[in-house]
């Protein structure tokens, strides 16, 4: 039984493998997902008060 700290490199490699494994499916369906979620996206931007001249940090919100 290994009770030491997790192997970060192994975890990172496993996570990347899983992301790569499902990426094609996400990309294939991206347009449908994006169109279906557009009203939610618009509402979030409205609630956040995003307006011209403001800055927004976009983190991992797309397939590319």
> Quick check: 31 pLDDT over 80?
yes
- The residue-averaged pLDDT of 19-39 equals 89
> Quick check: 29 pLDDT over 70?
yes
Given this model, what pLDDT does residue 63 score? 65
Distances in Å between the Cα of 25 and the Cα atoms of 5, 18, 21, 29, 41 are 33, 12, 9, 6, 21
> Quick check: 1 pLDDT over 90?
no
- The residue-averaged pLDDT of 13-22 equals 91
What integer best gives the mean pLDDT of the chain? Answer: 85
Q: Do 63 and 30 contact (CB within 8 A), yes or no?
A: yes
pTM over 0.75: no
Q: How far apart are the first and last CA of the chain?
A: 39
């Amino acid at each position: 039984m290994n009770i030491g700290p997790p192997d970060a490199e192994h975890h990172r490699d496993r996570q990347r493998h899983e992301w790569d494994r499902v990426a094609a499916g996400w990309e294939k369906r991206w347009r449908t997902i994006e169109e279906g979620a557009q009203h939610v996206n618009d509402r979030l931007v409205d609630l956040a008060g995003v307006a011209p001249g403001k800055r927004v940090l976009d983190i991992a919100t797309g397939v590319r």
